Structure 1
Amino acid sequence: MKWNRNFLGVLFGCLCFSCIRDEVPAGEDIVKPGDRLPDFSVVLNDGSVVSRKSLEGKVAVLVFFHTGCPDCQKELPVIQQLYEEYASSSDVCICAISREEGEEEVASYWQIHALTIPYSAQEDRSVYALFSTSGVPKVYVCGPDGRVVSIYSDNPIATYSELKEDVENARIFSSYLFAEQMVSLNLPTRNY
């Protein structure tokens, strides 16, 4: 009897706090491939500021996450690997932005999992809501012109090779060549 009550409590907790159980189906992005980044600004854990303006001329990989989300827990090591690949590149910016999760929780998770990706802990959805209505992880790869080249969500989560290919393509092609033009040339533009 006690075991059943504990099991039901855990099951209820999972359903209430699951990253996949948003009220709006995943995939309802406000920002889509080809769109310019919204006007946003976040302060990273190192004190630097990332905004649409600061990303001009750079390839950007923006990751929205919550450390309690199982898919985010799988995606963050992939993002870490990508970050390590491009950490010394001045033309690539990779950062993670939490969705409704404060500094203490994010910092603790980063320390436990030895993550070094710059992050911004956001206690609400105000920044996230500029990009999407539901679902984490959300990964946005943007070109130097500030246009979104590809978007990944939880089904399937982005692989290292997909993200690296997107970053490299965004580095190569000039600012006039954004998502719609990449499609016409059969170059990868993803919205998962």
Structure 2
Amino acid sequence: MVYLSLGLLLLGVVTALNLVLILAVIRRLRRHEEERKQQGDTFENIPSGPPVGERVPEFSAVAVDGTRVGSEALRGREAALTFLSTGCSACVAAARDLPEFARRTGLDVDQMVVVISGEGPEARTMADPVAGVARVVLEERDGPLSVLFAVKGTPTNVMVDADGTVTYAEAGTHPVLDQLPA
């Protein structure tokens, strides 16, 4: 009987301690979220990519279909670059939205570049929805294109005008698609 009482007392103490720790974590997460909101760092407006108004960085890469893509090929017309990663659940939805984005913007396969960072079959699976809609480039995590374009979060969308100037660069689920007319 003594062991049962001690066991129940110990269980009660551990449960109370667990409750205190959970409440402390919740309080810290709420404070962290308030700090992020005050700084304007919500997920939908994380600055990511080259600064708006600057020229798109010079780059060259080979797409999965063997086509060479680069900054020179994008000049002379509007273009879109999307950076995705295999470790990002929002990137899966963003990849599925890219065909609709292409339809609504009128961009063809040569005007859209999708860079997927990550290894393994997940990268190929993520590339499937955009096959025929965009040139897909696969690279390792924090690969050369992601570093060159200063990608801080995925998915990141970069819009470029005909002169090669960045007109939009931001991370978010699909912020550009949300701003387009139906």
Pick the TM interval, shorter chain.
Answer: 0.5 to 0.7
Matched residues in 2 for 1:41 and 1:48: separation? 11
Indicate which of 85, 97, 100 corresponds to 1:66.
85
Aligned residue in 2 for 1:121? 138
Contact kept? 2:83, 2:114, Cα under 8 Å = yes
Change (3 A) 1:52 1:151: same
Matched, 1:41 2:31: no
Aligned: 1:109 with 2:126: yes
Match of 1:136 in 2: 154
Q: List gaps (5 residues or longer) in structure 2.
A: 1-40
Alignment-derived partner of residue 56 in structure 1: 75
What SS is found at the alignment partner of 1:76? helix
Moved more, 118-127 or 102-111: 102-111
Aligned equivalent of 1:8? none
Structure showing greater radius of gyration is 2
* RMSD of aligned Cα (Å): 2.8
Residues in 2 aligned to 1:30 and 1:79: alpha-carbon distance in whole angstroms: 18
SS of structure 2 residue aligned to 1:78 = helix
TM-score, length-normalised on structure 2?
0.62
Displacement of 1:55: 0.9
Instruction: Name the aligned partner's letter for residue 139 of structure 2.
Output: Q
Q: Deviations over 1:148-181 (max 9, x none)?
A: 1112312x6325252x46xxxxxxxxxxxxxxxx
One-letter code aligned to 1:97: V
Question: Contact 1:44 / 1:118 at 8 angstroms: preserved in 2?
Answer: yes
| CA-CA distance at 1:87 after TM superposition | 7.0
Aligned residue pair count: 135
Is contact 1:65–1:96 with CA below 8 Å preserved after alignment?
yes
Structure 1 counterpart of 2:175, one-letter code: A
- Per the alignment, do residues 73 and 88 of structure 1 end up closer, same or farther by CA in structure 2, a change over 3 Å counting? closer
Counting only pairs closer than 5 Å after superposition, residues 76-87 of structure 1 correspond to structure 2 as: 76-85=95-104
Identity of aligned residues (%): 20
Q: Which residue of 1 aligns with 2:16?
A: none
SS in structure 1 of the partner of residue 144 of structure 2: coil
Map of 1:149 onto structure 2? 167
- The answer on whether the counterparts of 2:158 and 2:169 sit within 8 Å (CA) in structure 1 is yes
> In 2 relative to 1, CA 115–52 (structure 1 residues): closer, same or farther, beyond 3 Å?
closer
Paired with 1:134 and 1:46, the residues of 2 have a C-alpha distance of: 27
Q: Is the 8 A contact 1:94 1:118 kept in 2?
A: yes
